[in-house]
Amino acid sequence: MNHVLILSGAGLSAESGIRTFRNSNGLWNEFNIMEVCSAEGFRKDREKVLDFYDMRRSDIKDKVPNAAHFMIAELKKSFPEEIHVLTQNVDDLLEKAGCPDVVHLHGTLCDLRCENCFNIWNIKYESIKGKKCPECKSSNIRHNVVMFHEPAPAYQTLYKTIEKTSSGLFVAIGTSGYVIDAGGIASCFNFSILNNRDPEPSMDNMFLKVFHEKATSAAPKIKEIVVKFINSGVF
């Protein structure tokens, strides 16, 4: 079986109007990353961090998937065993595009997690204010998003998937490689594609094929290569 691992980052959702992190108008240019997205910041000012994730959660309410989300969703529905969809994104646009079995490596904005019983439940785009865990009624609850200096349990799935698929094709879409070393992952695979709008000198040359363009314009080209690879093993 010809497996394909598709890893996406903030650039996948950029054309849907969700800000990326490290570009010129990125989220980390407006907010101090360690104040609103780190274990230390959460300990220091819990309310500030909960408000930050409330703002990001309500921001994605009206966002819609773009052609790149639909491309990934169609591939996953057509080849459920061969395609593995892992994303660093915490938005729900791949699900809105109909993609099943998305692995969210950094958690999910529309879910909350109970710090008392570890229950995770979906609140869509609502505020966390005034909510209690539906299981144990505790108000010791938080966003279900992994912050810096916190464990990311889903990384185990990433490592296992790399092990299972490295004889196949690795596709990275819309990630700077700053947190998850997409270039290093590419070097584990026989075949690899990178699609970023902007060049990433630190990792571009780790990929066999590179598309420096918007995800929506690269999407049909990537789909064609992936379908051919799955059906014939030809890259």
Nearer residue to Zn ion within complex by CB, 91 or 111:
111
User: Are 63 and 17 spatial neighbours (Cβ–Cβ below 8 Å)?
Assistant: yes
Specify the 3-state DSSP secondary structure of 140: coil
Which of 43-51, 71-79, 95-103, 189-197 is the region at the interface with ligand APR (rule: CB under 6 A)?
189-197
Judged by beta carbon, residue 9 or residue 133, the one nearer ligand APR is: 9
113 contacts ligand APR (rule: CB under 6 A): no
Strand order in the sheet with 107-114: 120-122, 107-114, 141-145
Residues of span 114-143 touching Zn ion by CB under 5 A: 114, 116-117, 119, 133, 135-136, 138
Neighbours of 25 (CB within 10 A): 8
Q: What minimum distance in Å lies between the beta carbon of 189 and ligand APR?
A: 18
Cβ-based neighbours of 169, under 8 Å, separated by 6 or more: 2, 3, 4, 5, 189, 190, 191, 192, 193, 225, 226, 229, 235
In terms of CB distance, is 139 or 187 closer to Zn ion?
Answer: 139
The reply on whether position 13 binds ligand APR by CB under 6 A is no
Q: Which of 179, 188, 208, 227 binds ligand APR (CB under 6 A)?
A: 179
Stretch that binds ligand APR, among 20-28, 40-48, 53-61, 151-159 (CB under 6 A): 20-28
176 binds, among ligand APR, Zn ion, none (CB under 5 to 8 A by kind): ligand APR
The token pair that represents 231 in the structure block: 């059906």
One of 178, 181, 188, 209 touching ligand APR (CB under 6 A): 178
- CA-nearest of 8, 1, 2 to 158 is 8
Sign for the CA dihedral angle at 23, 88, 149, 166 comes to negative
Which amino acids are annotated catalytic?
106
Nearer Cβ to Zn ion (50/219): 50
- Contact between 207 and ligand APR by CB under 6 A: the answer reads no
174 three-state secondary structure: coil
